[in-house]
Amino acid sequence: MNAQERLFTAISGGKPDRVPVVPKMWVDLAAAILGVDLKEIVTSPETALNVMIGAGLACGFDAVRMWHFPAKKIHEQNGRVIELDGRGARRGEVDMPGGLVTRLDDPAMFILEDPHMMAHHHYWTCEKPIINDIADAGRMYVPTRADYERLGWAERMRAQQRRAGDNLGIIGDCDSPTLAFYISFRGMDNALVDLLEQPALVEAVMDKGVEIAIERARFNLDLGLKILRLNDSAGNMSVISPAMWRRFIKPRFKRFCDEVHAHDPDARVYCHICGNVMPIIEDLLETGLDCIAPLDPLGGVTAARVREAVGARASLMGGVNTLSFINSTPAQIIEEARRCIDGAGAAGGYVLGSGCVVPRSARRENLAALVEAAAIHGNYGATA
């Protein structure tokens, strides 16, 4: 099997030739692996895609997720990276140690009606709320597939698909339509209070988030990317209650899955919800997700425990403690991965990965150990 076939088979609940390996690698780790300066990621969308493909191939992973960064104009000032607008005026500081997001000096700098900003909304935030009322939510533009083509996303992705070939699968990222999306426009503290005090505003913004995620999914599917990632890392039971999740997030996850599967029955959707998800396992299944991830040990979750709960009703991905890539030896990584494979993947339907994002300071030999573990302990003996 090639890498894409291996991943598709596992996420479809089947037994590939071996367990696929897809740790949650972001561009910071990919850049560290290849020795690329993160400022090149911030200023060049092509570089962001290049490092993900390059690092995935270098590490022998079966697939990587892909993000489309905006091209930002920057300059350094007193050791800080500052984003500038088209006229050279300051917009805000770029969070280089964190998510490469610009913290805008003024929320009015984010234009909700602008296709470019809404297509890349994840890469700007502000200390003050960007959205203040339902009227603001109504102004939010939903980028179309034509917008993504015009912004160069399709051309850049096709180039990466040719580069990856059969050696590396590409996962289409659809970002978050729900709580994490809402937080980016309102801030964490406001967002959590709003769940109680402004539910109508929460629902209006999240409904726009779902529309954006669905349109992005269609764009990815039209490019031939059959495996899609849906994210809401904030929407877990370490942060909100099961009742809140069922009210605000579950129906929107279900709408996404329903529309994506209607658009392409061969589409496979997995979610990324780190933290504790055990109280909502049945709800996750009811949304129509094909695969649940990342089985986060830091949230008290284990791969074996989730498999026991879901049986063969969904595939699973993840399970290896993200801190193990810093603190463990390769032998310990292999043993931890073996427990995950035995616990969740004995009958197939499992993708070996990390319980959350792998830190940029992860040891390269530990990444190699994850791949080795799949080869040793995840061989099903199937043929392509």
Q: Quickly state the pLDDT bin for 187 (edges 50, 70, 90).
A: very high
pLDDT at 125 over 70: yes
Residue 364, pLDDT score? 96
pLDDT mean over 192-199: 98
pTM of the model: 0.95
pLDDT at 382 over 80: no
What percent of the chain has pLDDT above 70? 99
pLDDT mean over 230-249: 95
pLDDT mean over 22-50: 97
Q: Where are the domains of the chain?
A: 1-24+311-384, 25-293
CATH 3.20.20.60 applies to domain 25-293: no
pLDDT at 303 over 90: yes
Residue 135, pLDDT score? 98
Task: Give me the amino acid identity at 278.
Answer: M
Quote the mean pLDDT of the chain. Answer: 96
pLDDT of 76-96, one tens digit each? 999 999 999 999 999 999 999
pLDDT at 50 over 60: yes
Q: Quickly state the pLDDT bin for 383 (edges 50, 70, 90).
A: very low
pLDDT mean over 240-249: 97
pLDDT mean over 17-41: 97
pLDDT at 329 over 60: yes
pLDDT mean over 374-381: 94
Residue 381, pLDDT score? 76
Residue 384, pLDDT score? 36
pLDDT mean over 290-310: 97
